[in-house]
Structure 1
Amino acid sequence: MSPAPTPQELRQPESPLELFTTFTALALQGFGGVLAVAQRELVERKRWLTREQFVELYSVSQMLPGPNVVNLSLMLGDRFFGWRGGAAAVGGMLFMPLVIVIMLAIGYNTFAEQAMVAGALRGMGAVAAGLMIAMALKLVGTLRANPMGPVLCAGIALLTAALVAVLRLPLVWVVPSVGLLGWTLARLAIARKARS
């Protein structure tokens, strides 16, 4: 595994076709969570983004409607090749999974009752959760540069987890309210840093 690139070491995709093939490969690697694979591929292997840039794009993609990684692919494609890059990246992210999902849907009714299939689906869920935890641990270092600092960021993360996992509040309420809280705290931290 190579280290994350510095801004001076960043590369750029050669064409929209490279965006399409890269995001197709990403989409085919992810069962229940492409994000951890995307971080490794886009930051460490392709070196198109620094870890900080990845976290920024991912943060914005979470606030937009739709799947996070699709939003991320759209923004990254647009960054490099405008609307053509955005279309290529989103196309790569969606085309093959759509074909696979249609094929699985056709066969699901036939095989859904088999214990082996149910066990495989549970196993994929555990793998997806593990990938998300691994990505979070890799990216936690970027919090050092956050104006709020790692303690406040961890507090916001714990609050979010408690509201969703413990209190079972709907995301439609948690995301805007905790997002507004985070934005307010970040603005205050930036203003305090500017004054000192």
Structure 2
Amino acid sequence: MSEQVNSDAPAPQATVTELFLRFGMIGIMGFGGVGPWVRWLLVERTGWYTEEEFVNTFALANFIPGGNVIALATIAGVRLRGWPGALAAILGLCLPPAILVCAAGSLYLRYSETEIAQRILGAMAAAGAGLIVAMAIKLLKPMRGSVRGLGMTAAVFSAAFLLQLPLTTILLVLGPVSLALALVMRS
């Protein structure tokens, strides 16, 4: 992540309506894992974020309490259109899926014991896992040349997967370590 972001460059423009509609599309398409869709929207589809800006914003969103994708939508909305943009992004991300979840929940209560429902849920779980793995790979790409970034990724993976430490412990220990390494390596 050696690329320097030009903070003086104007952010690409988006309307409040566009934020609502695009995040609404993500909310509908991204059941079970919208993170990869948000990355696709912000970086690949619209160019509203560079890869490095997205990785940094995604990291920040993971440290903020609450849902990380909602935090990411809020940050993106504020950056692109201020507080009205944040509200539009959050509503777009949450409202359409909330309506669909209510409908799906009603169907699930009625048909959950059927074999076809069980097969559908199994397939959805596999698709969600695949999306998470794909996003992890995309997030690692900008860190190819960063020993610190890859080292912190390995440390977090080891703490979460191998040691099975709680997320709070990982954040409280490795968050300050990551910040200290960033400060030392800049000097």
The residue type paired with residue 104 of structure 1 is: A
Once the two structures are overlaid, the 10-residue window that deviates more, 101-110 or 16-25, is 101-110
* Offset of residue 188 of structure 1: 3.2
Cα-Cα RMSD = 2.3
Q: Is the 8 A contact 2:77 2:86 kept in 1?
A: yes
The residue type paired with residue 193 of structure 1 is: M
Q: Is the 8 A contact 2:14 2:80 kept in 1?
A: no
Q: Is the 8 A contact 1:74 1:90 kept in 2?
A: yes
Which residue does the alignment assign to 2:181?
189
Distance 1:64 1:150 in 2: 22
The residue type paired with residue 190 of structure 1 is: A
Which residue does the alignment assign to 1:38?
38
Which residue does the alignment assign to 2:84?
84
Distance 1:136 1:126 in 2: 16
CA, structure 1 residues 38+190, in 2 after alignment: closer, same or farther (shift >3 Å)?
A: closer
Unpaired runs of at least 5, structure 2: none
* Offset of residue 159 of structure 1: 1.6
* Offset of residue 175 of structure 1: 2.4
**Higher RCO (CA 8 Å, separation ≥ 6 residues):** 2
Q: Is the 8 A contact 2:5 2:53 kept in 1?
A: no
Task: State TM-score, norm by structure 1.
Answer: 0.82
* Offset of residue 10 of structure 1: 8.2
Distance 1:190 1:112 in 2: 49
Write out per-residue CA displacement over residues 60-103 of structure 1, whole angstroms, 9 at most, x where no aligned residue: 22222222211111111011111100100001001111111111
Q: Does 1:67 align with 2:67?
A: yes
Write out per-residue CA displacement over residues 15-47 of structure 1, whole angstroms, 9 at most, x where no aligned residue: 110000000011111121011121112111111
CA, structure 1 residues 30+10, in 2 after alignment: closer, same or farther (shift >3 Å)?
A: farther
Aligned ranges 1:7-26 → 2 under 5 Å: 12-26=12-26
- The aligned length equals 182
Which residue does the alignment assign to 2:95?
95
Distance 1:113 1:84 in 2: 43
CA, structure 1 residues 72+188, in 2 after alignment: closer, same or farther (shift >3 Å)?
A: closer
Distance 2:118 2:12 in 1: 41
**Sequence identity percentage:** 29
Q: Does 1:154 align with 2:178?
A: no
Distance 2:49 2:146 in 1: 17
